[in-house]
Amino acid sequence: MWQERGRIMARFADLVERHADELAALESLDAGKHPAVTKAVDIGNAAGSLRYFAGAADKIHGETLRMRGRFQGYTLREPLGVAGLIIPWNFPTTMFGIKVAPALAAGCTMVVKPAEQTPLSALYLADLAKQAGIPDGVINVVPGFGPTAGAAMASHMDVDMVSFTGSTEVGRLIMEASARSNLKPVSLELGGKSPLIIFDDADLDMAVDLAISANFFNKGEACVAASRVYVQESTYDRFEKKLAERMKSWVVGDPLNDSRVDQGPQVDKAQYERVLSYIELGKREGATLLTGGRPCGQKGYYIEPAVFTNVKEGMVIAKEEIFGPVMCLMKFRTVEEAIARANATRYGLGAGVVTRDLDVANRVVRSVRAGLVWVNCYFAVCSDCPFGGRGMSGFGKDEGMHALDKYLAVKSVVTPIRGSPWL
């Protein structure tokens, strides 16, 4: 049974890769994502998750227990039952794979609710799952709005757990619905305001490139985006100058019709207006707009990526998740100051440190409160790397073997031992 489950999941992964062009087109139409990037990143992540957990399907073991007296014990790890999977609009294909794969490996059935902005890839993936041989009723895709379909899933008495990726505000609602219904366990991967700390010994060109990709990849629509960039004072001016120069070549436009495009449109009008409102707020708060921050083109939801300088920690743009192409650039002097300011947030999803000094890197890694810390890189993730946060960034892990735990129940079994003289 478990071996066959793994083989079917591997066939599913093959089909995802075989239909990469169609999935990339759907992602671009739904979310404004760059097709080439979607094929390389999003679809690769989804297929990779399916293959990774296909290999885990026949390796779900319990453990033996050292019981006192004339008893022996062991544990079984059993599927929780029906998993409610609520996926976001910024990485629809990736998040479908990341959540569906461990649930399948664990033996759960599932109801998947894609975001109302981006339902097409989930529906297409459900069809590929059927082609791969996954039985009817195992993966059920139910498009709908959060306050209706999502709320119904979170409060349903026959849904045994919920895994949600999205905003902190909605995460709270899901926890409340779980408590009011059947006390189903929840796993929440929520918002972030991640810091990127750049020390004066860093390679300046690499640091600038990392700051740009950590902020503006996927149009800034990433929960783990490093929207707070701290640069050590002695190198700050050179960093700012090089960053401003580098942003002159950044291309915003339609990724379906121009291969030179670095950044497509925001996902919808509401998000477009939200990002622009934060940019205006940042200017009113007294931050300096170094580059960008204006709408682009005659139609569509395009925004020039904004880089703010002279940002203070108390400003709203430095505290709240914007979920768009907005970078807050700030100075620091010492390692101690950098750590303290990095931790001055309610969130705790990701963080980055750029330095050539291993001692400094280790100190920051052990001091910054975050679920994932990158050293001299950013956005480096894979199926074997647990992903999830702490604080108001939620709890529970996607990816890695830790992801299996949330879909499994542990059952203890105890039996007597008769006639053993050595007990």
CB 69 within 8 A of CB 422: no
Classify residue 42 by its DSSP letter: I
Sheet holding 372-375, edge to edge: 288-291, 306-309, 326-332, 228-232, 195-198, 350-354, 372-375
**Which residue type, as a one-letter code, is found at position 319?**
K
Candidates 189, 221, 321, 399; catalytic one? 189
User: 6 to each of 181, 353, 417, how far by Cα in Å?
Assistant: 33, 38, 36
The alpha-carbon radius of gyration of the chain (Å, integer) is 23
Q: Supply 95's token pair.
A: 């998040």
Q: Do residues 114 and 192 touch, judged by C-beta distance below 8 A? A: no
Dihedrals φ, ψ of 335, to 5°?
Answer: -60, -40
Helices (H) and strands (E) in the chain, counts: 15, 18
What's the gap between Cα 287 and its chain centre? 29
Looking at residue 136, the DSSP 8-state letter turns out to be T
Residue with tokens 């066939």, as numbered in its chain: 11
Q: Which residues of 290-310 are buried (b: 16+ CB within 10 A; e: fewer)?
A: bbbbeeeeeebbbbbbbbbbe
Q: CA-CA distances (angstroms) from residue 321 to 7, 38, 226?
A: 41, 23, 10
- How far are the Cα atoms of 8, 121, 219, 374, 376 from residue 263, in angstroms, in the given order? 36, 20, 6, 23, 23
Q: In the annotation, is 189 catalytic? A: yes
Active site residues: 189
